[in-house]
A and B are shown apart, each in its own frame.
Chain A
Amino acid sequence: MSDTGSVPLFRMEGVSKHYGGVRALEDATFHCAGGRIHAVLGENGAGKSTLIKVMAGVVQPDTGSLHMDDRPVTFRTPAAAAAAGIACVFQELSLLPDLSVADNIAITNPPRRYGLIDRRAQRRIAEAALARAGASDIHPMTPVRDLPLSRRQMVEIAKALARDPRILILDEATSALAAAEVEKVFAMLRQLCSEGMAIVYISHRMHEIAAIADDCTVYRNGRYVATFATGSKTDADIVEMIIGREYKNVFPPKPAQKPAGAPALRVEDLSWVGQLKSISLDIRPGEVIGLGGLDGQGQRELLLALFGVLDGVTGTVEIGGKPAALASPTSAKSGNTAMALIPEDRKTEGLMLPMSVRENLSFAALGRLSRLGLVDRRAEAAAVDEMMALLKIRCDDTGQAVASLSGGNQQKVVIGKWLLTRPRVILLNDPTRGIDVGTKQELYQLLRRLADAGAAILFYSTDYDELVGCCDRVLVLYDGAIVRVLEGADITERNLIAAAFNLRDLDQVPA
């Protein structure tokens, strides 16, 4: 632990938090001091979000204690933490889209006169907060709904500042900002810091942390790893600390030879409203191609664009050498295109939860399983049985509601539903999120079997292990563009992280 010479304003000791069987935080420690900027680092799922949710009173820890000014405190609600002087700018924005900027900034504690909200005073508070956040160009009466994401983040920061906090937590608060705006935010943070505020800064952008933070704390798998002064460790050391662990080999062997033949999917110069920037790629039958990078760099949008969900996509897409107009999911899954997308959220985009396992499995392929508009029950039953056996879906009866299945089995139903359409190109959007290790392993085997049978697979995962273990090639996205292509032995967790943070080469980064 570095000796910063200051008294901790906030201290957290031995904090644990479990969600069901999942350990989000285990015996975690954290200190921060007034007048310093403290960065929190870790992989997706390392416990950073839970840590700040505990600090902000959004979740209650199972064990452990919180102290402010060396006095024990408990925060039962976000309002209690706010009253104690902790303001948080969350990653998932906490703005009310229908309300105006001024309404939003004042929402936690609106100024009152005779019991009613004083709109003039509110206007003054909002203007002052926006000015303090360096965003006085935003009109306080604009509905938040009408602002682009980057402006909303500035409103979110102004909202936190309007509470005049002692501790300001920024969780990925700069993720939607361009470099010039980030510079303005940094200048503002340094100013606040010099006024004695404690700032907790969470970011995946390593160069930002190097530029702004005084101290760093690393978490891994919900556990505290180390705290050190920025600049006392090399980037390479920090990445080692963030990864830390060894992983067991649960992945099927990759084919030694690159499959020959014409690409099944070819994408040229694909762009979409500033969120996808000139993406080109091609996938041969038999290849498993990964999409890497930090969460939210355009991976989901790329898959949605290919599946015809987005309007206004430019560029060309060829399937089996023929241009494909990807107008809608219906056309994307149809005959010649034969594409399938395993969506991100199985509960809303993948399954009709109250309907039966059988109905869910046959849904996407009903065109093939029906005659004259009537479902051929026998063909449907045969197709469903085939998938139940292939994917080893465990349920008592195919007539039971799919909602009653475990997460892993639900995900198998989503996959089975798309396999029944006999796709030639399979897009997967983080398919192993929230499912158990055993099912994950079955899924990895399945992907390889499908590829060997001639499918072209494009696979986005937030889990770097999976990309290393499953993929023949990984395209790393950053800010909507492919910044690095890793192939063969170059696909390592270390390289993936370096590329994800858009560091050119780890070993050459000066300490």
Chain B
Amino acid sequence: MSADWRHRLAEQRGLLLAVGLFLAMFTLYIAKHPAGLTANVASTAANKGVLLALVAMAQTIPVLTSGLDLSVGMVLVLTNCLASRIVVGSPAEVALGTSAVLAVGLLCGAINGAVVVYGRIQPIIATLATSSIYYGVALAIRPAPGGDVATGVADALTGSLPGGVPASLLVLVAVVVVVWVPYRRSVLGRAAYAVGSSEQAAFMSGVPITRAKLLAYVLAGLLSAIAGLLLTCITYSGEASAALGGTYTLTAIAAVVVGGTSLFGGSGGAIGSIFGAFVLRTIGDLLFVFDMDALWQPLFLGAVLLVAISLGSFRLLGVRNRLELYR
């Protein structure tokens, strides 16, 4: 049925735009790269991209409920510091440590959700406050950079598989399949879109609003913790860096928007955010292969961001009642 496909395409327009943008930029990057597409080049690019993609996925879910989680970067930093202390030793210890790190991510998310839902505090300020707390805890765990991580696990997760496929990319695919796909098709996932679309209408339709919002922040915490683990594996250490946390939080919001998710909530998805993250990461690489000064990076990042989001605003040209532009 062609009508079905037309609707599917329209629904995924934001995602397709991000995929197209990424493919164009990445092809250009590989074409200009002196070594071409080797396993090494691919896994380096993938590691950086996947890290931001995970944080962007984390950010996506609260944004879908028309919330925001400013603590995703600090949960990344906190779990990074924690992992650099406890994901070491025997396989059993590593397994236990990994579970503990993920549990801390869930806990951070649950705290955010509880403050937003039960405290009825605006998400932006609630998570700004908790992000500061999480950073404080990270500093307490690791006052100076250092630590270690089980080398075998780290190398397995950040290297290449036979055939040159970056292992971190598989981690990302696994997270999508295990976390995002079921969530998108669950009742609470549907409820998250409903809440973001119109909270009043969602209430009138008997949608479980409270649980949907709580779960959104809990999942954001979990995904940030997975990113924290990956960061530890990439750097073999932990560091309580405020700058790193802040940068990841803000770049992840940009990735969410480039990926076609509306900051007003209700439409978009985590797959788009993944490609949004890849787009933003590739900009830096492009400047590198074109021998341009790294100083230009923020300027280009900003320009690409503006162009990408402008493409999404064309429908506003059709609005006839100008009061609606301000709603």
Interface centre among A58, A100, A110 (most CB of B within 10 A): A110
Let me know if A107 and B207 touch, CB within 8 A: yes
Query: CB-CB < 8 A to B98: which residues of A?
Result: none
Q: Is B196 an interface residue (CB 8 A)?
A: yes
Q: Is B27 an interface residue (CB 8 A)?
A: no
Q: What is the distance, in angstroms, from B210's C-beta to the closest C-beta of chain A?
A: 11
Complex CA–CA separation, A79 to B211 (angstroms): 15
Q: Do A94 and B204 form a contact, CB below 8 Å, given A99-B194, A312-B320?
A: yes
Q: Is B187 an interface residue (CB 8 A)?
A: yes
Main secondary structure of the interface of B (DSSP, over half): helix
Query: CB-CB < 8 A to B4: which residues of A?
Result: 141
Chain B 167-207 near chain A by CB (<8 Å), digits 1 or 0: 00000000000000010011100100110111011111111
Query: CB-CB < 8 A to B10: which residues of A?
Result: 143
Choose from A79, A97, A159, A310 the contact partner of B320 (Cβ within 8 Å).
A310
Q: Is B323 an interface residue (CB 8 A)?
A: yes
Q: Is B266 an interface residue (CB 8 A)?
A: yes
Let me know if A98 and B190 touch, CB within 8 A: no
Query: CB-CB < 8 A to B310: which residues of A?
Result: none
Complex CA–CA separation, A447 to B7 (angstroms): 53
Choose from B8, B186, B201 the contact partner of A95 (Cβ within 8 Å).
B201
Q: Is A296 an interface residue (CB 8 A)?
A: no
Query: CB-CB < 8 A to B35: which residues of A?
Result: none
Let me know if A96 and B201 touch, CB within 8 A: yes
Task: Pick from A15-23, A111-119, A471-479 the stretch touching chain B.
Answer: A111-119
Chain A 78-121 near chain B by CB (<8 Å), digits 1 or 0: 11001000000010011111111001000110101001110100
Chain A 260-278 near chain B by CB (<8 Å), digits 1 or 0: 0000000000001100000
Q: Is A504 an interface residue (CB 8 A)?
A: no
Let me know if B186 and A107 touch, CB within 8 A: no
Let me know if A77 and B206 touch, CB within 8 A: yes
Let me know if B320 and A273 touch, CB within 8 A: yes
Q: What is the distance, in angstroms, from A247's C-beta to the closest C-beta of chain B?
A: 33
Complex CA–CA separation, A94 to B197 (angstroms): 11
Q: Do A108 and B194 form a contact, CB below 8 Å, given A143-B11, A309-B322?
A: no
Complex CA–CA separation, A110 to B202 (angstroms): 14
Query: CB-CB < 8 A to B11: which residues of A?
Result: 100, 141, 143
Let me know if B206 and A304 touch, CB within 8 A: no
Q: Which residue of B lies closest to A146 (CB)?
A: B10
Q: What is the distance, in angstroms, from B165's C-beta to the closest C-beta of chain A?
A: 28
Query: CB-CB < 8 A to B201: which residues of A?
Result: 93-96
Complex CA–CA separation, A185 to B321 (angstroms): 29
Q: Is B319 an interface residue (CB 8 A)?
A: yes
- The tally of CB-CB contacts under 8 A between chains A and B is 93
Main secondary structure of the interface of A (DSSP, over half): loop
Complex CA–CA separation, A97 to B11 (angstroms): 13
Q: Is A142 an interface residue (CB 8 A)?
A: yes
Q: What is the distance, in angstroms, from A49's C-beta to the closest C-beta of chain B?
A: 13
Q: What is the distance, in angstroms, from B261's C-beta to the closest C-beta of chain A?
A: 11
Query: CB-CB < 8 A to B321: which residues of A?
Result: 301, 304, 309-311
Q: What is the distance, in angstroms, from A76's C-beta to the closest C-beta of chain B?
A: 11
Q: What is the distance, in angstroms, from A384's C-beta to the closest C-beta of chain B?
A: 26
Q: Is A396 an interface residue (CB 8 A)?
A: no
Complex CA–CA separation, A77 to B205 (angstroms): 10
Interface size of A by CB at 8 A reads 38
Q: Which residue of B lies closest to A122 (CB)?
A: B190
Q: In B1-20, which residues have CB < 8 Å from any A CB?
A: 3-4, 7-8, 10-11
Q: What is the distance, in angstroms, from A75's C-beta to the closest C-beta of chain B?
A: 11
Q: What is the distance, in angstroms, from B267's C-beta to the closest C-beta of chain A?
A: 4
Let me know if A96 and B197 touch, CB within 8 A: yes
Query: CB-CB < 8 A to A95: which residues of B?
Result: 198, 201
Q: What is the distance, in angstroms, from A505's C-beta to the closest C-beta of chain B?
A: 35
Let me know if A100 and B198 touch, CB within 8 A: no
Let me know if A117 and B190 touch, CB within 8 A: yes
Q: What is the distance, in angstroms, from B183's C-beta to the closest C-beta of chain A?
A: 9
Q: Which residue of B lies closest to A106 (CB)?
A: B190
Interface size of B by CB at 8 A reads 33
Q: Is A349 an interface residue (CB 8 A)?
A: yes
Q: Which residue of B lies closest to A110 (CB)?
A: B187
Q: What is the distance, in angstroms, from B308's C-beta to the closest C-beta of chain A?
A: 20
Choose from B7, B193, B319 the contact partner of A141 (Cβ within 8 Å).
B7
Query: CB-CB < 8 A to B185: which residues of A?
Result: 116-117, 119
Q: In A292-328, which residues have CB < 8 Å from any B CB?
A: 301, 304, 309-312, 328
Query: CB-CB < 8 A to A78: which residues of B?
Result: 203-206
Q: Is A124 an interface residue (CB 8 A)?
A: no
Query: CB-CB < 8 A to B266: which residues of A?
Result: 96-99
Complex CA–CA separation, A339 to B204 (angstroms): 39
Query: CB-CB < 8 A to B186: which residues of A?
Result: 115-117
Choose from A98, A112, A141, A312 the contact partner of B196 (Cβ within 8 Å).
A98
Let me know if B206 and A98 touch, CB within 8 A: no
Q: What is the distance, in angstroms, from B138's C-beta to the closest C-beta of chain A?
A: 35
Q: What is the distance, in angstroms, from A260's C-beta to the closest C-beta of chain B?
A: 37
Let me know if A304 and B194 touch, CB within 8 A: no
Let me know if A112 and B3 touch, CB within 8 A: no
Q: Is A258 an interface residue (CB 8 A)?
A: no
Choose from A103, A139, A304, A309 the contact partner of B190 (Cβ within 8 Å).
A103
Q: In B273-327, which residues have CB < 8 Å from any A CB?
A: 319-323
Q: Which residue of B lies closest to A94 (CB)?
A: B204
Query: CB-CB < 8 A to B320: which residues of A?
Result: 272-273, 310-312
Let me know if B3 and A141 touch, CB within 8 A: yes
Q: What is the distance, in angstroms, from B254's C-beta to the closest C-beta of chain A?
A: 21
Complex CA–CA separation, A304 to B320 (angstroms): 11
Q: Which residue of A lies closest to B262 (CB)?
A: A98
Q: Do A96 and B3 form a contact, CB below 8 Å, given A107-B194, A116-B186, A117-B190?
A: no
Query: CB-CB < 8 A to A328: which residues of B?
Result: 322
Q: What is the distance, in angstroms, from B66's C-beta to the closest C-beta of chain A?
A: 10
Q: In A158-176, which residues have CB < 8 Å from any B CB?
A: 159
Q: What is the distance, in angstroms, from B259's C-beta to the closest C-beta of chain A?
A: 16
Choose from A90, A110, A117, A143 the contact partner of B204 (Cβ within 8 Å).
A90
Query: CB-CB < 8 A to A108: which residues of B?
Result: 205-207
Q: Which residue of B lies closest to A109 (CB)?
A: B206
Query: CB-CB < 8 A to A100: which residues of B?
Result: 7, 11
Complex CA–CA separation, A78 to B202 (angstroms): 10
Interface centre among B4, B8, B197, B262 (most CB of A within 10 A): B197
Complex CA–CA separation, A58 to B200 (angstroms): 11
Complex CA–CA separation, A143 to B262 (angstroms): 15
Q: Which residue of B lies closest to A90 (CB)?
A: B204
Choose from A96, A98, A117 the contact partner of B187 (Cβ within 8 Å).
A117
Complex CA–CA separation, A209 to B90 (angstroms): 78
Q: Do A309 and B323 form a contact, CB below 8 Å, given A99-B194, A116-B185, A116-B186?
A: yes
Complex CA–CA separation, A139 to B8 (angstroms): 12
- Complex A-B: 10 CB contacts under 8 Å: A90-B204, A95-B201, A96-B194, A96-B266, A98-B197, A98-B267, A108-B205, A117-B185, A141-B3, A143-B7
* 8 further A-B pairs in the complex, CB-CB below 8 A; given A273-B320, A311-B322: A78-B206, A94-B200, A94-B201, A98-B266, A108-B207, A116-B182, A141-B7, A311-B321
Kindly list the 3 A-B residue pairs having the minimum CB-CB distance in the complex, ordered from nearest.
A79-B206, A98-B266, A141-B7
Residues of B within 8 A of A (CB): 3-4, 7-8, 10-11, 182, 185-187, 190, 193-194, 196-198, 200-207, 262, 265-267, 319-323
